[in-house]
Structure 1
Amino acid sequence: MTESASLPAPRAVAILLAGGQGARAGFDQPKQMRTLGGKPVLRWSLDAFTAHPAMVGGVLVASGAVAAAAGDLPRGWTIAAPGAERQDSVANALAALADEPDETPLLVHDTARPGVEAGVIDRLLTALDTAEAAIPTLPVPDTLVEHGGGEAGATVDRSALARVQTPQAFRLGTLRRAHAAATANDATDDAQLVRRLGLRVATVEGDARLHKLTYAADLTILSGLLETEGRMRTAVGMGYDVHRLTAGKPLWIGGIEIAHSHGLEGHSDADVALHALTDAIFGALGEGDIGDHFPPSDPQWRGAASSRFLAFAAERVAARGGLVSHADLTIIAEAPRIGPHRAAMRERIAEILAVSPDRVSVKATTTERLGFAGRREGIAAQAVATLQLPEN
């Protein structure tokens, strides 16, 4: 692992534990391999730690199949074999970090908790300024009772209790000493081993998104907490097109035919407005331009209705699980007058895109008789398409 001058010093490393089988979940594969929001559960933790500016790498503790499910490891990360118990897995990871100095901040995390947020990492690293170890906790919101034999016993005072989460933070040397002093695999987390040395373990505010995947139903809970179902991003694309006016041809603009002495010259029906809007959608999708999908060298598109091109672009949005939020179109022409036809254009474009007309804007302007449009040699159009696309 290399040091970067742009990162805060001392830089931090992590141990990500992915060796458990998750038998209680009843899955046919280790729970870390289950898909959540389009990627394996364990990848959520790996991505979160990699993205944090204080983290420079670490050790992923995983078997061959689980490690393969994680995909390519980022720079600075290595793999260690899992042990029979959690404590053994951490010991294997510590051995892989043998070259790291004792003062290095270390975070140990269970990848069955995919909801790692930068704020939790920040709070833990800050706590290490005054403590040898720190853990995130949350209050216990539920009433607690003693339980046995299928019936409720006495109520347990919850005011002094807290739920412990991971990641947990340590000075690397502190955790090394704690593991060296441990005699058996009887601790459920590393903070317990540190406390046995008589050292203070600080607590910081945890995060509900660090819910642990233990049972099958937890996947549904995590999906809601992490908003992996329905999470969308906004994508915006811009399109521009121009066609020459020529006598004796039909004039198609905005998906409708307008009576005029001249029409637009092109391989298809040369609908300059629909071409610009189609390009805007392809741009928002990152899928090239209209010429990539409908090359003018292909005779099948000679004279084709440009509504087919726009409909295809809308189908590409739907195939990606997205939708068209808005389409804004400006037509640049001296003649004919566009104003009387704007409403019909909005209706037709909305029909092609399968959206309501209030999601379509059609405007028109002139160039004050300047340039090719001002000389009535051609018509231009520019468009902006706003899409909502799945985050993953």
Structure 2
Amino acid sequence: MTIGVVIVAAGRGERAGASTEGPKQYRLIGGRPVITRTLETFLTWPKCGPVVVVIHPEDEMRFAAASQDLHAGVQVMTTFGGKTRQKSVLEGLKMLVPTEATHVMIHDAARPFLDHDLLERIAQGFAQGHEGLLPALPVTDTLKRAGADGLAHETVPRASLYAAQTPQSFLLTAIRTAHEKAAALRRDDFTDDASIAEWAGLPVHVIEGSADNIKLTVSRDIAMADAKLSQTEAATNLPDVRTGNGYDVHQLVTGDGVTLCGVFIPHDQKLSGHSDADVALHALTDALLATCGAGDIGDHFPPSDMQWRGAPSKIFLDHAVKIVRERGGTVMNADISLIAEAPKISPHRQTMRENLAAILGISLDRCSVKATTNETIGFIGRREGIAAIATATVVFSGTAA
């Protein structure tokens, strides 16, 4: 089974109003022509067979421009349409017949929001042996029949009523024969391909359509579609900004001073650790690694590795910055909160911030160091240790997924 496609794009779209962009199928929505989005959905569907796009003779250059950036792994052909949609479909079917296509999807170019799920449901219907498939949605509005006097005369029961969509899909030879029979009898009053199939006695099976698969008919439809896509694409084009958090704590033991943010502060205690035990830089290292899912400091510098014994923690932070940059990240901000009863941090904050700015390669105003006590509560309050909490903000190249 090979499923070909006929996309009907020869109409003039008078109800959509005049535009310098041409007929409605060439109007821009979300910065791209309607027909480009329609065609792209078919071309990116793995089961797509040969495609015929039925265009108006005046639109050759418009279509060439709208399709030039689409990379198709399938055959794409064009042919000129007739004066009616029905005649245009027949021209498309005639061009498709010599190909390897056994089935066909007939779709309106002005329905750019179809999706692969709908195409898969059609393919499944063919696999189950159905000769004709009509995607449709149950009618949910209350229907009224009005008279020439403008008055509502009857409420029409909506049970078993459906709103038809495209692509309406069939065995290629069967729908071609039905169209040729209608043309020979000069029957040109059919509103869609399913109605021709019904008239010709072909069974048409109704399948679930898609609420998004709307047809753009009037200018307001196009404006609403453009607004919808513009908002969606603006949201998906947000910069890839990531925030990482880090926490570290080290025990205080008898000593001559502590190192925090690379600054040695004389004190009657020191921090115990495999390296210089700089809790601030350790926490910030973890925060940076978190922005790109690169594990934590222990994964890169295990305490069991003796080469890091007594090492300055600047080495660890340099390594984290390198990983972030190699993955396309730019460090934008670093914020460290130190939690300690002693020593006093405030006299050294400026030097600490300058150290961070130099290591991270960012301006001083993007580096923050704060300190607070634990109000004599817990192990920090008892001066048994110092803790640090760090937050880093990194912008990665590309956009947020």
TM over 0.5: yes
Query: Measured at CA, do residues 109 and 339 of structure 1 come closer, stay the same or move farther in structure 2, by a change above 3 Å?
Result: farther
Letter in 2 for 1:127: G
User: Displacement of 1:225 after TM fit?
Assistant: 5.9
Aligned pairs for 1:10-25 (under 5 A) are 10-25=1-16
User: Displacement of 1:361 after TM fit?
Assistant: 3.6
* In structure 2, C-alpha distance between the alignment counterparts of 1:327 and 1:212, rounded to whole Å: 47
User: Displacement of 1:176 after TM fit?
Assistant: 1.2
- Structure showing greater radius of gyration is 2
User: Displacement of 1:231 after TM fit?
Assistant: 3.8
User: Displacement of 1:349 after TM fit?
Assistant: 6.1
* In structure 2, C-alpha distance between the alignment counterparts of 1:77 and 1:329, rounded to whole Å: 56
* In structure 1, C-alpha distance between the alignment counterparts of 2:221 and 2:119, rounded to whole Å: 23
Match of 1:38 among 28, 31, 43: 31
Name which of structure 1's ranges 116-125 and 55-64 shifts more when overlaid on structure 2: 55-64
* In structure 2, C-alpha distance between the alignment counterparts of 1:327 and 1:106, rounded to whole Å: 56
User: Displacement of 1:156 after TM fit?
Assistant: 1.2
Letter in 1 for 2:52: V
User: Displacement of 1:184 after TM fit?
Assistant: 2.1
Pairing 1:189–2:192 present: yes
* In structure 2, C-alpha distance between the alignment counterparts of 1:210 and 1:12, rounded to whole Å: 20
Tell me which residue corresponds to 1:268. none
User: Displacement of 1:351 after TM fit?
Assistant: 6.7
Letter in 2 for 1:132: E
* In structure 1, C-alpha distance between the alignment counterparts of 2:397 and 2:334, rounded to whole Å: 12
* In structure 2, C-alpha distance between the alignment counterparts of 1:40 and 1:95, rounded to whole Å: 26
Tell me which residue corresponds to 1:295. none
* In structure 1, C-alpha distance between the alignment counterparts of 2:364 and 2:161, rounded to whole Å: 58
Paired residues of 1:18 and 1:61 also in contact (CA < 8 A) = yes
Pairing 1:232–2:228 present: no
User: Displacement of 1:87 after TM fit?
Assistant: 1.0
Tell me which residue corresponds to 1:52. 45
Question: In the comparison of the two structures, how many residue pairs are matched?
Answer: 280
* In structure 2, C-alpha distance between the alignment counterparts of 1:50 and 1:279, rounded to whole Å: 36
Match of 2:108 among 107, 110, 128: 110
* In structure 2, C-alpha distance between the alignment counterparts of 1:350 and 1:145, rounded to whole Å: 70
Tell me which residue corresponds to 2:63. 67
Tell me which residue corresponds to 1:123. 121
Aligned pairs for 1:177-256 (under 5 A) are 177-182=177-182, 183-223=186-226, 228-233=232-237
Alignment RMSD: 4.2
Paired residues of 2:240 and 2:400 also in contact (CA < 8 A) = no
Paired residues of 1:134 and 1:201 also in contact (CA < 8 A) = yes
Query: Measured at CA, do residues 222 and 351 of structure 1 come closer, stay the same or move farther in structure 2, by a change above 3 Å?
Result: farther
TM-score with structure 2 setting the length: 0.59
Other structure's SS at 1:208 match: coil
User: Displacement of 1:55 after TM fit?
Assistant: 0.3
Paired residues of 1:40 and 1:69 also in contact (CA < 8 A) = no
Tell me which residue corresponds to 2:371. none
Letter in 2 for 1:68: A
Q: Deviations over 1:95-114 (max 9, x none)?
A: 2113135x712101001010
Paired residues of 2:26 and 2:62 also in contact (CA < 8 A) = yes
Paired residues of 1:211 and 1:222 also in contact (CA < 8 A) = no
* In structure 2, C-alpha distance between the alignment counterparts of 1:149 and 1:350, rounded to whole Å: 78
Paired residues of 2:334 and 2:366 also in contact (CA < 8 A) = no
Structure 1 unaligned regions, length at least 5: 1-9, 239-257, 261-271, 285-309, 311-323, 331-335, 354-359, 363-382
Tell me which residue corresponds to 2:18. 27
Query: Measured at CA, do residues 328 and 112 of structure 1 come closer, stay the same or move farther in structure 2, by a change above 3 Å?
Result: farther
Other structure's SS at 1:209 match: coil
Paired residues of 2:34 and 2:112 also in contact (CA < 8 A) = yes
Query: Measured at CA, do residues 340 and 206 of structure 1 come closer, stay the same or move farther in structure 2, by a change above 3 Å?
Result: same
TM-score with structure 1 setting the length: 0.60
Tell me which residue corresponds to 1:94. 93
Tell me which residue corresponds to 2:134. 135
User: Displacement of 1:66 after TM fit?
Assistant: 3.5
Paired residues of 1:27 and 1:216 also in contact (CA < 8 A) = no
Paired residues of 1:234 and 1:387 also in contact (CA < 8 A) = no
* In structure 2, C-alpha distance between the alignment counterparts of 1:328 and 1:278, rounded to whole Å: 14
Query: Measured at CA, do residues 276 and 338 of structure 1 come closer, stay the same or move farther in structure 2, by a change above 3 Å?
Result: farther
